[in-house]
Amino acid sequence: TKAVGKGTGLGLYISYGLAQDMGGDLSAENSTEGGAVFTLTLPLRVETDA
């Protein structure tokens, strides 16, 4: 953990890449209350009897 404004952003880049590799998405938006809201969406795999 680094001080505010001292990070490289690499963690978000890696997280976004992992989400994409799994068929999902990672998005961010400003929160109306300040700060940010991150949403991680991953597909649900449902197994069925073959």
Residue 47 has a pLDDT of 80
What CA–CA distance (Å, rounded) separates 7 from 31? 20
More confident residue, 20 or 45: 20
Predicted pLDDT of residue 1: 62
Question: What confidence tens digit (pLDDT) does each residue in 1-36 have?
Answer: 678 778 877 899 999 999 999 999 999 999 999 999
Statement: residue 40 has pLDDT above 80: yes
Position with higher pLDDT, 42 vs 9? 42
Q: What is the mean pLDDT of residues 36-47?
A: 91
* d(C-alpha 49, C-alpha 35), whole Å: 45
